[in-house]
Amino acid sequence: MCSTQVESAPKTERLFFALWPSDAVRQALRRHCKALLRHSGGRPVAPENWHITLAFLGTVEATQRACAEQVAAGIHLPPFALRLDHVGHWARPQVLWIGASDTPDTLRSLADRLAQGSRDCGLALDKRPFVNHLTLKRKVDRPPAKLDIKPVDWAVTDFVLVRSRTLPEGVQYTVVNRWPLT
Ligand code: ATP
Ligand code: MG
């Protein structure tokens, strides 16, 4: 009898930490951004995919994921209020986004701690500083004429770890873990 053992490569996932809007916040965003979304061209991000990235981990092995999850579990920060009141356009990546013109200190701390902790787990994160933003559309080559919207108030009570998969029909995000802010 003969058997062949094939060494399988370690299983990896594409992961990022994010703020994940509740259904109510998603609906408010849809309502308040209706005109903006209608008149700005480009390719809309599906509303169920809307999020604010806190730290993008990239391709991660199981042990690195466990390490990053320990970092997340060790963060003790209070809930905070986020007012999405600012529409922005980045010309180079051609992204239309909405964000909070005032970044709460707690949000900055959360993003910084996740990034630093994940680096300590051996992950190579982007060095660019955190900019709070929720991407509404891609491939928007010029800013829309009218950039003002009615602000959306979001009571942030938790943060999540998301798995990103690229499927033929588009990107699919799955929330794989969640930590409360208390
Ligand atoms: P696709 O890459 O298929 O167009 P996507 O950009 O939405 O879709 P991901 O590339 O998995 O999906 O990115 C997930 C989130 O992390 C997005 O909000 C994306 O903007 C952000 N992101 C991706 N790469 C980086 C990076 N190097 N630094 C910071 N954030 C990133
Ligand atoms: Mg991407």
SS3 9: coil
Q: Is the CB of 14 under 6 A from ligand 1?
A: yes
For residue 1, being part of any structural domain is answered with: no
Could you tell me if residue 139 is inside a domain? yes
CATH code of residue 56: 3.90.1140.10
Domain presence at residue 2: no
Q: Report which of 106, 101, 87 is spatially closest to residue 144, judged by C-alpha positions.
A: 87
- Distance, in Å, from the CA atom of 29 to the CA atom of 49, rounded to the nearest integer, reads 12
79 three-class SS: coil
Domain hosting residue 123, numbered range: 12-180
Ligand 1 atom at minimum distance from 45 CA: 7
> Rounded to 5 degrees, what are φ and ψ at 171?
-75, 145
> Over the stretch 84-142, which tens digit does the pLDDT of each residue have?
999 999 999 999 999 999 999 999 999 999 999 999 999 999 999 999 999 999 999 99
Residue type, 148: D
Report if residue 3 sits inside a domain. no
Residue 105 · residue 77 · CB < 8 Å: no
Angle at 30 between CA 41 and CA 40, to 5 degrees: 15
Q: Which tens digit of pLDDT belongs to each residue from 56-100?
A: 999 999 999 999 999 999 999 999 999 999 999 999 999 999 999
Tell me if 7 is assigned to some domain: no
Nearest CA to ligand 1 atom 27: 126
Locate the ligand 1 atom nearest the alpha carbon of residue 14 and give its number.
11
Asked if residue 6 is part of any domain, the answer here is: no
How many angstroms separate the alpha carbon of residue 89 from the centre of ligand 1? Answer: 16
Domain total of the chain: 1
For the whole prediction, is pTM greater than 0.75?
A: yes
